[in-house]
């Protein structure tokens, strides 16, 4: 079976369900990580004492990493490229 035939092959029901589950997981984790980035960058009253214990530059770097990785997870969930390499 050549690569072109594999790409045209339909996904089985199990694979479709797996793609849906992975996609949903990526969306939820991406949104969670973006939210965590906002909490680190703009702390609320309840988390401010804990976040103020650390270096502000480190907190900003952690927030940026959370934003980037969260955006990547949302993008990966949108692309749904789990079984086929392009």
Q: What string of DSSP letters covers 10-68?
A: PPPHHHHHHHHHHHHHHHHHHHHHHHHHHHHHS--TTTHHHHTTS-HHHHHHHHHHHHH
Average pLDDT, the chain: 86
- Taking only the tens place, the pLDDT of each residue in 5-18 is 555 667 788 888 88
pLDDT of residue 4: 52
Residue 85 above 70 pLDDT?
Answer: no
Question: Is residue 2 over pLDDT 50?
Answer: no
């Amino acid at each position: 079976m050549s690569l072109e035939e594999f790409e045209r092959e339909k996904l089985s029901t199990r694979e479709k369900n797996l793609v849906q589950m992975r996609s949903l997981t990526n969306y939820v984790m991406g949104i969670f990580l973006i939210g965590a980035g906002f909490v680190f960058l703009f702390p609320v009253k309840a988390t401010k004492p804990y976040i103020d214990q650390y270096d502000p530059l480190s907190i900003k770097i952690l927030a940026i990493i959370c934003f980037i990785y969260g955006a990547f997870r949302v993008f990966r969930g949108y692309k749904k490229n789990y079984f086929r390499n392009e």
